[in-house]
A = this chain, B = another copy of it.
């Protein structure tokens, strides 16, 4: 399943997991040891993060290491950048925003 990156980042536990894995690739059990959450709960979070392409898996024997995929985070950065540039130019840009949002109209 394809998932929205922002939605994947919405959960604070998932953000913490990302920070952990950003520092070092880890197995689900290793991740779970750092949280109150159970292994299964963590496993579900890892699945969500994987579906958002924020993580990749690397099987090694019976262990599965989850690695970070840094590319996907740039998508968030780009949104923020767009947002900020919009702020900078304000009113002048309203037409452009309207144009870009056109497909969301009824």
Q: Find residues 32-85 in chain A having any chain B CB closer than 8 Å to their own CB.
A: 34-36, 68, 70, 73, 76-77, 79-80, 82-84
A80 near B73 (CB under 8 angstroms)?
yes
Given contacts A6-B15, A10-B4, A10-B10, contact A24 B91 (CB under 8 A): yes
Copies in the complex: 2
- Picked from B12, B34, B73, B80, the residue with its CB within 8 Å of the CB of A105 is B34
How far does the Cβ of A103 sit from chain B's closest Cβ, in whole Å? 10
Docked pose: A8 CA to B80 CA in angstroms:
14
Given contacts A10-B7, A70-B87, A83-B73, contact A35 B104 (CB under 8 A): yes
A22 near B104 (CB under 8 angstroms)?
no
What are 22 A-B contacts defined by CB distance under 8 Å?
A: A6-B9, A7-B10, A9-B10, A10-B10, A15-B79, A19-B86, A20-B101, A22-B87, A23-B90, A24-B91, A24-B94, A34-B98, A34-B101, A34-B105, A35-B101, A35-B105, A35-B106, A68-B87, A70-B87, A73-B80, A73-B84, A76-B76
